[in-house]
A = this chain, B = another copy of it.
Amino acid sequence: MIIRPPRHWFIRLFAWHGSVLPDILFRLFLNLLMSIVAVYTFDWYKTLGIKLTLAPFSLLGIAIAVFLGFRNNVCYGRYTEARVLWGNLLIACRTVQRQVIAVCPQERESIMQLLLAFCYSLKHQLRGSEATADLTRLLGDDAQNILARRTPTNTLVLQLSQRLAARRQAGELSEMVYVNLDQSLKQLSAVQAGCERLVSTPVPFAYTLLLHRTVYLFCCLLPFALVPDLHYMTPLVSVLVSYSFLSIDTLAEELEMPFGREGNHLPLDAICHNIEINLREMNDENPLPADLRPDAWYRLT
């Protein structure tokens, strides 16, 4: 499915996206308040010998640029890696299903169910949500055995493996073809372990703390540094600079753990749904479930 947000520059300028901005609105308001305080108390605190100029802030700005740029790259890299892993899942599912249809068509139905169960189980594992409904729909009573496990997703790969091993034992799959299928199962394992790695290893917390503190202190002190130069224009410029620094920080934050259900997270529901449509059509099922559609903000969950 092709997803295209609106491209006209004027629309984009005023589009309300529903993410990031609501999270930082309160802090922007605080910054505005502090700017106004700075403007009105400037003449008084100047007499106390307190002054701040913009020059040292450029210097600090360089340091923050290094931090923000680094953290943003890292978090977006996690988001992209997560998306690539789920893209690999689509490849692996299609490939296993195609191979099974070609060399062992009697298992096409049962393998498809296990593959879909793997996808949904992985999704629920990553989101910390309840897999019972999806697994029961796909596997029927067998779902209970899976759900009772500590590592249900891994158990599903094991079951796929054992199903194929049984056919090999029965002489229906040659060694060569069995090993070829086994290679594809390995890719399911790789996707699972890659996602688990992302979810259990956040960016070192010290980075996040360090960046937050530096950015916040910077935004707090900024109005006082701007006031000698800009006077009445201080609130405008201060809020604009704070907006750009705080929102890139917040956005990076959201992308760090991309498996949730928030605005800029990966649409795992839609991806699982798409895998289901693909595998079911490969098995000539008819009719197929309808596509999921993005909401008014071009978002899928």
> Contact residues of A with B, CB < 8 Å?
1-5, 7, 9, 12-13, 15, 17, 19-20, 27, 49-70, 72-74, 76, 79, 83-84, 87-88, 90-91, 94-95, 98-99, 101-103, 126, 128, 149-151, 154-155, 157-158, 161-162, 164-165, 168, 174-180, 182-183, 185-186, 189-190, 193-194, 196-197, 199-202, 204-210, 212-214, 216-217, 221, 226, 229-233, 236-237, 240-241, 243-245, 247-248, 251, 253-255, 257, 263-264, 266, 277-278, 281-282, 288, 297-299
Closest Cβ of chain B to A207, distance in Å, is 7
Q: Find A12's partner among B4, B212, B247 (CB 8 Å cutoff).
A: B212
Residue among A15, A63, A88, A165 with the highest chain B CB neighbour number at 10 A = A63
Closest Cβ of chain B to A77, distance in Å, is 9
Bound-complex Cα distance A221 to B238 (A): 13
Residue among A56, A58, A164, A255 with the highest chain B CB neighbour number at 10 A = A56
In the assembled complex, which residues on chain B have CB atoms less than 8 Å from the CB atom of A7?
253
25 A/B residue pairs, CB under 8 Å, sorted by A: A3-B200, A9-B27, A12-B209, A13-B212, A49-B231, A51-B231, A56-B230, A56-B237, A60-B244, A63-B241, A66-B69, A67-B248, A87-B194, A87-B196, A90-B193, A95-B186, A98-B185, A99-B182, A101-B161, A102-B161, A154-B281, A175-B175, A177-B179, A204-B251, A206-B264
**Contact indicator B73/A70 (Cβ below 8 Å):** yes
Q: In the complex this chain forms, how many copies of it are found? A: 5
Residue among A94, A193, A231 with the highest chain B CB neighbour number at 10 A = A193
Closest Cβ of chain B to A236, distance in Å, is 8
Residue of B nearest to A179 (CB): B180
Bound-complex Cα distance A247 to B70 (A): 14
In the assembled complex, which residues on chain B have CB atoms less than 8 Å from the CB atom of A72?
66, 70
Closest Cβ of chain B to A45, distance in Å, is 10
Bound-complex Cα distance A149 to B19 (A): 36
